Structure 1
Amino acid sequence: MKLQPLIETLIGTEPPIAVRAYDGSVVGPADAPATLVVNSPDALRRMITSPGELGMARAYVAGDIDIEGDIYAVIRMRDRLPPLSAQLRFAAQATRLLGVRNLRPLEPPEQEARLRGRRHSKARDAAAVSHHYDVGNEFYRLFLGPSMTYSCALFENPRDGLEAAQARKYELICQKLGLRPGMRLLDVGCGWGGMAIHAARHHGVSAVGVTLSAEQAEAGQKLVADNGLTGQVEIRLQDYRDVTDGPYDAISSIGMFEHVGLSKLQEYFRRLVSLLGSDARLLNHAISRPRTTKPRLERNSFINRYVFPDGELHEVGTVISALQNAGAEARHMESLRPHYALTLRHWVANLESNWSEALDLVGAARARVWRLYMAGSAVNFETNRTQVHQVLATRTIAGSRPHALPLRPDWSPAPPVP
């Protein structure tokens, strides 16, 4: 039995991409923007024994499947998958082709996370962060660029360069926090120190950044020294729950919140609010979810198994409520969803342009994980499957004088008067 009928069962006889299989079967147009290459019967074994996206992802990470050309065109195929009846028919056809005795599950690629312990305990959170971030700073530099900023940039137009857009994002946050010389800033989940360094250089603050990634902390400390900011910026290998040297005049949390579980939201915000001084501001910049999806990443999703184990995305209304329940006052919310799609497309382009070096640094399997995850995330932001919001809050005490936050936002031009 040839693979062509199986392929057509799954994606139809006139798909927008091409598929080329190990048995010589070819489906799809000759000038397709992308070709999905099925290299081995093991691809089918993985798809049958781990139905859904996990089996496909394992096959790609293991090299049983290749993607040539436009990876976004392949990812968009998920919206064209047939009804369940056709998927079951595909599984039955593939089982007949391989034979029941050949359906023993294959060992997952070693890049799959295997966490132990209580979910969102300090030890397990540290292991989850290490799984994602401690894969080599030079690998991250290949796609993040010189700024080493691993969060959504801010674009004035789609043609902006990534470095300028990342600097613009940091500056927006500094303005929202009202940073001035002499203030103390805490940056939670500081990565390689980009926000702390920007705030110190351009706004004269004294900054502390905390991260659970040993590799980030070491590289961040070097960047601080290289920028001549030793004594003004401190990068710590520390859990935010262990920070005790408040009060701070401002706190930023940029792209770390996805590691905080729903069960820990109140603890997280209470801890941060307790570290704020009077008249202080807190900005939470986080990936979020539409109202119709669940907080926890699906257990068998690619993103949970390979990218962000134990990750949880929270609906922005839940975030604002949790902030207020912790004693803060939510003052401003802004969605940056289109900006993250553009950011991710820059990262994917950078990774693909430096593919050979990526293979040398981390190997084919891990490079494939990052290519698939970042391209898939770009499509998710473009289609509103995933969102990102900045929420600005103040520590406001009932009965106190009006807060120092401006009556109207002073970090962007006012709209023209009609």
Structure 2
Amino acid sequence: MADAASRLTTLAGELLGGPLPVRLRAWDGSEAGPPGAPVLIVRDRRALRRLIWKPGELGLARAWVAGEIDVEGDLYEVLDRLSGVLWERPGETRSRLAAVRESLADPRIRTAVRTLFRLAGPLPPPPPPAEEVRGRTGSRHTRRRDKQAISHHYDVGNDFYEIVLGPSMVYSCAYWTRDGTLEEAQHDKLDLIARKLNLSEGDRLLDVGCGWGSMAIHAARAHGARVVGVTLSREQAAYARKRVADEGLTDLVEIRVQDYRDVDDGPYDAISSIGMAEHVGEAKYREYADTLYGLLKPGGRLLNHQISRRPEPDESAYAIDPFIDAYVFPDGELAPMGRTLSTLEAAGFEVRDVEAIREHYALTLRRWVANLEADWARAVRLTSPGRARIWRLYMAASAVSFERNRIGVNQFLAVRTPVSGTSGTALRPRVWNEKV
């Protein structure tokens, strides 16, 4: 087993079809790879067993969550370098490691895999780390299963989210119009949405997936709107209700634990859906669009803020990211921007504006990672070492994905245009980027 790092570096080159762009340090203390490059540490051979059984993102993620692999140096640089090796095209959802099984007819690949088995030690693989999603029941995106998925991601403790998100408690892409703080950028995002929706005093706003209440509070406090916010997370709702009460806005803001499909007290003047549609799922997306359309009055506006993926060369090959599905957002699905637009139009909406803000999310995620790292010990106490490692990896890897244009984020402004074709006061001219 001497000089395991050199053997692993050689194997990685053979399996990936090119040299490993990071330096490796193995469990035996040996090192190999480009001098001066950031270091990927393989602390335990168990990590190799995970990769053999789950090649690709899920195997790597399980090893990371368990602490069997780590990084010395810039985490973003390691992820960026590995991204360039593991995925050939911006839109790919399956890594080259996951494709190794299809290459076993190649004698060179078979030899490399046999060597990897010897290095990995006794099989079978260790069990997955504890934070992996288990026990999902029923069909994807039923009300019951959606509630389970939302609980896994959001009900991990409001104190933990305070560390990551900071005082704004906004869990979606900020809008960076100045060299300011995260809180200022989140305020600018919320106000941009309010201006796109043309909110004014007395307007009824439905905030779908209201989170910890930030959009609802901003719309009521800054624009005088009457807001109903709905979420499936009881922890979020309790936190949001307290914030509303502390702000003295209980006469303007109501927070409900409610599925958006069960809202029946329309019509509303406007609907905001900020970072929620990723939970809906492709099979239910038309239902989502139809439901929101039906809840708006004629001339009413929808602002749909949503992460998108690059289109696949073969759309039938798209698969949910296995790490995200197992550890972060169970059942979360991303759609290409064009498909979202087409679905909104098919539901009857007139899409009046699309703004792509991909780079803004990379900046936001880097701030969240910095918040987590700055209060790491407390974050671990509030959750667990594995959970904190999940979040650090998920957010840093997502930042790199936005920077590399593997995923994007877009704001769609859509209108329930009346039959007459005139939209009345709902489309009063407004310069969206003016500061309020």
Q: TM-score range by the shorter chain?
A: over 0.9
Show the counterpart of 1:17. 22
Q: Quickly say closer, same or farther: Cα 1:15–1:261, change in 2 above 3 A.
A: closer
Match of 1:359 among 371, 377, 380: 380
Residue by residue over 1:72-101, the C-alpha shift from the partner in whole angstroms, topping out at 9 and shown as x without a partner, is 1221213225885677654321212345xx
Query: Which one is further off, 78-87 or 18-27?
Result: 78-87
Which residue in the other structure is 2:43 paired with?
A: 39
Counterpart code for 1:338 = E
* CA deviation map 1:9-28 (0-9, x unaligned): 31599755332111121123
SS in 2 for 1:150: coil
Q: Is the 2:46–2:120 contact (alpha carbons within 8 Å) kept by the matching residues of 1?
A: no
1:245 to 265, 285, 291: 265
- Report deviation, 1:163: 0.5
Shift of 1:5: 1.2
Q: Whole-Å Cα distance in 1 between the matches of residues 398 and 110 of structure 2?
A: 27
Q: Does the CA contact (< 8 Å) of 1:139 and 1:362 recur in 2?
A: yes
1:370 to 377, 391, 398: 391
1:196-345 maps to which residues of 2 (within 5 A)? 196-292=216-312, 294=315, 298-299=319-320, 301-345=322-366
Aligned partner of 1:7 in structure 2 is 9
Deviation at 1:403, TM superposition (A): 4.2
Whether the 8 Å contact between 1:16 and 1:28 is mirrored in structure 2 is yes
C-alpha contact 2:205 2:228 (8 A) present in aligned 1: yes
User: In 2, distance between residues paired with 1:30 and 1:402?
Assistant: 63
Q: In structure 2, do the counterparts of structure 1 residues 376 and 306 end up closer, same or farther at CA, with 3 Å as the change threshold?
A: same
Q: Does 1:187 align with 2:192?
A: no
Q: Could you say what secondary structure the match of 2:405 adopts?
A: coil
Matched, 1:137 2:141: no
Q: Which residue of 2 aligns with 1:416?
A: none
RMSD: 2.2
SS of residue in 2 equivalent to 1:404:
helix
Q: List structure 1 runs of 4+ shifted beyond 4 angstroms.
A: 11-16, 81-90, 293-297, 405-409
Residues 25-76 of structure 1: per-residue CA shift (max 9 Å, x gap) = 11235643x3222111111111111111111110010111122331112212
1:88–1:412 Cα change, 3 Å: farther
1:149 and 2:170 correspond: yes
Structure 1 SS opposite 2:10 = helix
Note the C-alpha offset of 1:313. 0.7
- C-alpha change, 1:375 and 1:300, in structure 2 (3 Å) is closer
Question: Are residues 152 and 124 of structure 1, via their aligned partners in 2, closer, same or farther at CA, if it must alter by over 3 Å?
Answer: same
Which of 52, 55, 68 is the equivalent residue of 2:72?
Answer: 68
**Residue 96 of structure 1, aligned match among 101, 113, 118:** 118
Distance, in Å, in 1 between the alignment partners of 2:340 and 2:308 is: 9
CA deviation map 1:348-396 (0-9, x unaligned): 1111111111111111100011011101100111111001110011111
Residue 288 of structure 1 aligns with an amino acid whose one-letter code is: S
Contact 1:283 1:391 in 2 (8 A): yes
Give the TM-score taking structure 2 as reference length. 0.89
* TM-score, length of structure 1 as denominator length: 0.92
- What whole-Å deviation, never above 9, does each CA across 1:330-351 have from its counterpart, x for those lacking one? 1111101010011011111111
Mean Cα displacement is larger for which, 210-219 or 62-71?
62-71
Residues of 2 paired with 1:41 and 1:275: CA distance?
A: 55
Q: Is contact 2:12-2:20 (8 Å) kept? A: no
Q: Quick check: 1:57 aligned with 2:57? A: no
Distance in 2 (CA, whole Å) between partners of 1:354 and 1:90 is 42
SS of 1:169's equivalent?
helix
Distance change in 2, residues 1:193/1:255 (3 Å): same
**Paired position in structure 1 for 2:93:** none
SS in 2 for 1:103: coil
Per-residue deviation, 1:263: 1.2
Deviations 1:127-151 (A, max 9, x none): 0111111111111111100011000
Partner secondary structure for residue 425 of structure 2: coil
Q: Which residue of 1 aligns with 2:90?
A: none
Letter in 2 for 1:28: G
Report if the CA contact (8 A) 1:207-1:234 is conserved: yes
Identity of aligned residues (%): 53
Out of 369, 380, 391, the position equivalent to 2:401 is 380
Amino acid at match of 1:210: V
Q: How far off is 1:410 after superposition?
A: 2.3
5+ residue gaps, structure 2, are: 87-95
Q: 1:214 to 1:407 in 2, by over 3 A?
A: closer
Q: Distance in 2 between matches of 1:109 and 1:165?
A: 35
Query: Is 2:85 the partner of 1:80?
Result: yes
Post-superposition CA distance 1:285-310 (Å, at most 9, x none): 00011122759973562111111111
